[in-house]
Structure 1
């Protein structure tokens, strides 16, 4: 079968090359298109993957079999939908949730225990470090009641305002009970 005087194999191959090239560009410059994908409600990676899967399976079926082109188009659509669904469920969704699990919000720091690495003077700022799953979080800190807190002291985060953690000295009484 031909479409606009061009064989279906050529159309599939051209679509495969174009979609593959755009996919490679999307890998490098994908952050620029993230807003576009959210605006239309679809993930550009899924659209590009669908076109790639569709054209690859269509080209392969046209080259290897003598099945009717209409049946090949329908089969290619089903193959592309299946592979696209599997890609979304087993790769893209887990990657998105894994990325979110490594981040933190300032609100999530409330109630956490950290260690002072730069002492906090009266009415001044110091620095605190908090251990997290993704590594160490270092933030500016201030005494909750404007008290002096020495370097190396454990502190409890009470409040977060404009990126500054307001802390109070913290002693873990649980450890003291176990050492007696």
Structure 2
């Protein structure tokens, strides 16, 4: 049984190291693959559980005077406790952390912006929106095909094919700034 514990310990450790190295080399897309999995099935939890099962099994077998099934049970308990700790102190907080300054064009809907390049009737101009600490500019047109001058406040009401449809801002509209 000691061979099984060593296999779990070394195999789990090798898996964890390879996972981190491969993800670093691949530019982070490997971690994105695992986003589809529930947080409880995160590879770090699985690797950590296997490593701790193997490590506890080795220690309890070598330095304890327990029976085979007691060692298996205590090793499984150690693995579960470590996985639970990893979940609450690493996986869950990291899954809720901001990891990108990117945004979806659909997030513009309902945002208040300012016209930077006038929008002619039936044509296109440019509107700036605040995201985080910066401004983003997008091609825009008017919802009712009227001219909107530079400096006017507008409300984004739709995004289609990379163009933001806006209307003049009115305090009666809800905004999400």
Q: Normalising by the residue count of structure 2, what TM-score does the alignment of the two structures yield?
A: 0.69
SS of equivalent residue, structure 2 residue 147: coil
SS of equivalent residue, structure 1 residue 98: coil
Task: Give, in whole Å, the separation in 1 of the partners of 2:133 and 2:89.
Answer: 23
Name the counterpart of 1:178: none
Return the structure number with greater helix share: 1
Note the aligned Cα RMSD (angstroms): 3.6
Name the counterpart of 1:150: 149
Higher relative contact order (CA 8 A, sep 6+): 2
SS of equivalent residue, structure 2 residue 93: helix
Matched, 1:20 2:16: yes
Gaps of 5+ in 1: 174-180
After superposition, the Cα gap between the structure-2 partners of 1:140 and 1:50, relative to the gap in structure 1 and judged at 3 Å, is farther
- Cα deviation for residue 167 of structure 1 reads 0.8
Gaps of 5+ in 2: 173-177
User: Is the Cα contact below 8 Å between 2:54 and 2:75 reproduced in 1?
Assistant: yes
Q: Out of 20, 26, 30, which is 1:32 matched to?
A: 30
Paired residues in the alignment total 169
User: Is the Cα contact below 8 Å between 2:9 and 2:53 reproduced in 1?
Assistant: no
Name the counterpart of 2:48: 49
Task: Give, in whole Å, the separation in 2 of the partners of 1:60 and 1:115.
Answer: 66
SS of equivalent residue, structure 1 residue 91: helix
Task: Give, in whole Å, the separation in 1 of the partners of 2:6 and 2:139.
Answer: 61
After superposition, the Cα gap between the structure-2 partners of 1:57 and 1:83, relative to the gap in structure 1 and judged at 3 Å, is same
